[in-house]
Chain A
């Protein structure tokens, strides 16, 4: 609600430049046109992005007090930071952060290493069938995540999926849906779905590395690996940072894979990830607590991605 009035006030400013009446009329006209183009998006943005956040913040500072014997009459009373305290003391909610952190700290570096390595191979002239491989690697990303999760939930199932059979053929007996294995199972689903996408970002950046640079290095006798390590990887640092940020944000919002796998895997609780934990509070009609948890989640996502960007920028400045 605030922003449109703010920007609507602005067009008045150009009148200050009265010395050039023609130009001021023109700039006022263009400001008006720009506003008209912006308005449809602005209305939707404010009502579908800004308003829900403010509504959640508002809700998070209240609690519902049911009066009488649960006949339906209830009233909201101000709770201050009570819901936030409750959320932070909620062991399910906190444990869910621990889980996504655990998955992220193993899965993200592994996935990015594979993506970077594949991108380097795809960028090397000696690699065969590069076009075909690139298309294949991209396929899982074009595959909708929800369907991928359904598919993997079947693949993990010993009676109709092939995986358990293959592993037991070489003497390994695992149940992908058991308690201790679900971390691996979810990590694998994420790796399958996103490595190709991350690889594509790094690969596109690699293609922009000037040819002279790599040629000069090879004339100096640098091998493939030395060229990659000293020239190419530093040149695509921004792209690698970008993929890391994407992955970190992706982990905080982890929902589809565990939520769908939980339908068949008893090892996945209904509060496995932070979003699932918040959803469960909403389902239990604890709207105020769910609101507080949503706000915490959005804040963590923002702080983490901004923080990571700043951190890498500072490191860049240091070196």
Chain B
């Protein structure tokens, strides 16, 4: 449906200047093709941005203005007051949720990355019996999404009395089969065998070689693994919902959703909306800076 219109509009550029030897990429493109392309891309950009704009605008509005003013236009700037309200709610539980989120996401992703780096290095740079089998088991685990493990984990953790502890969310977050897959693929391609051999001849032991040669070379892939796992932990909302009853153990995601549904208990919209914005901004900044790490490895891991 969406693909039909461009046919007539965009075709023109190549047909008219046919005799020229220049490839069509460099030819002068008629105004209409540029315009059409711009309109389509801008429309989708608008679709992507409007919700974010609404969130930013709404977070600056007071409790009352939110209902009485145009949802897309700024009114009196009340962001600082709203932020104060967010942190004052329930004796500053928002700060506790933030700390928990850092623990689960940063701590979990960091350890998961280290484990994945070691395992990926072993699978990528050592020949040993059973290597292919291990690799295939890990690949199968990549295909089953993490969220499908949440309920079985909950059943298991209930049995061993681990629910409602930090461990119940942290421990499952330490495993990233996709991270091992990426690290192994990258290690295989990027670490030269000659370098490892040279180090061995110089008498370095395997752990030292991994630490001093393997890890530094793998670091671009490891940033990707970290980011991927960070997002995976953040978005696995079901796991903490199942595991954690105690709201001082919960991450931001669970806490904010609870606020969202507790309007009747006096948690006003402006608190939830401003809290959501606060939760998102650090991530958006981090991702804009680290965007290239996403790109390079999504293709490295994906298209194979």
Chain A residues near B (Cβ < 8 Å):
3, 6-7, 10-11, 13-14, 27, 30-31, 33-38, 40-42, 44-45, 47-49, 51-53, 55-56, 59, 113-114, 116-118, 121-122, 124-129, 133, 135-140, 142-148, 150-155, 159-162, 165, 192, 195-196, 200-201, 204-205, 208, 211, 214-215, 218-219, 221-227, 238-239, 242, 249-250, 252-253, 255-256, 259-260, 263-264, 275, 278-279, 282, 287, 290-291, 294, 297-298, 301-302, 305-306
Instruction: Contacts A11-B129, A133-B45, A253-B147 known; list 13 others, CB within 8 Å.
Output: A10-B129, A38-B118, A40-B115, A42-B119, A48-B174, A52-B149, A55-B152, A114-B2, A117-B6, A192-B47, A214-B25, A223-B14, A291-B151
Task: Provide the residues of chain B in CB contact with A279, threshold 8 Å.
Answer: 151, 238, 242
Q: Contacts A31-B128, A38-B134; is A133 near B260 (CB within 8 Å)?
A: no
- CB pair B283–A142 under 8 Å, yes or no, is yes
Interface flags, B244-288, vs A, CB<8A=1, else 0:
000000000100110011000000010011001001100110011
B298 at interface, CB cutoff 8 A: yes
Task: Provide the residues of chain A in CB contact with B83, threshold 8 Å.
Answer: none
Task: Provide the residues of chain A in CB contact with B131, threshold 8 Å.
Answer: 34
In the complex, the chain A residue whose C-beta lies closest to that of B30 is A126
- CB pair A121–B298 under 8 Å, yes or no, is no
Task: Provide the residues of chain A in CB contact with B212, threshold 8 Å.
Answer: none
| 24 pairs of residues in contact across A and B, judged by CB atoms under 8 Å | A27-B128, A33-B206, A40-B118, A49-B177, A55-B159, A113-B3, A114-B44, A126-B34, A136-B45, A140-B48, A144-B280, A146-B256, A152-B51, A160-B58, A204-B299, A215-B25, A221-B15, A224-B10, A249-B145, A253-B148, A260-B260, A275-B148, A279-B151, A291-B155
Q: Chain A nearest CB: distance from B73 CB in Å?
A: 10
Q: Contacts A253-B147, A275-B147, A279-B242; is A154 near B58 (CB within 8 Å)?
A: yes
Task: Provide the residues of chain A in CB contact with B203, threshold 8 Å.
Answer: none
- CB pair B288–A41 under 8 Å, yes or no, is no
Q: Chain A nearest CB: distance from B97 CB in Å?
A: 12
* Whole-angstrom CA separation of A78 from B58 in the bound complex: 56
**Size of interface on B: residues with Cβ below 8 Å to A:** 110
Total of A-B residue pairs, C-beta within 8 Å? 326
Task: Provide the residues of chain B in CB contact with A219, threshold 8 Å.
Answer: 21, 23
Q: Contacts A55-B152, A275-B151, A301-B148; is A113 near B1 (CB within 8 Å)?
A: yes
- CB pair B144–A263 under 8 Å, yes or no, is no
Max chain A C-beta neighbours (<10 A), residue from B55, B116, B128, B152: B152
The main secondary structure of chain B at its interface with chain A is helix
- CB pair B129–A128 under 8 Å, yes or no, is no
Q: Contacts A41-B175, A219-B23; is A121 near B37 (CB within 8 Å)?
A: yes
In the complex, the chain A residue whose C-beta lies closest to that of B34 is A126
* Whole-angstrom CA separation of A275 from B155 in the bound complex: 14
A139, A224, A253: which contacts B52 (Cβ < 8 A)? Answer: A139
The main secondary structure of chain A at its interface with chain B is helix
- CB pair B66–A160 under 8 Å, yes or no, is yes
Task: Provide the residues of chain A in CB contact with B137, threshold 8 Å.
Answer: 3
- CB pair A125–B67 under 8 Å, yes or no, is no
- CB pair B256–A138 under 8 Å, yes or no, is no
B201 at interface, CB cutoff 8 A: no
Task: Provide the residues of chain A in CB contact with B145, threshold 8 Å.
Answer: 249-250, 252-253, 301
A41, A139, A142, A147: which contacts B49 (Cβ < 8 A)? Answer: A139
- CB pair A41–B130 under 8 Å, yes or no, is no
B29 at interface, CB cutoff 8 A: yes
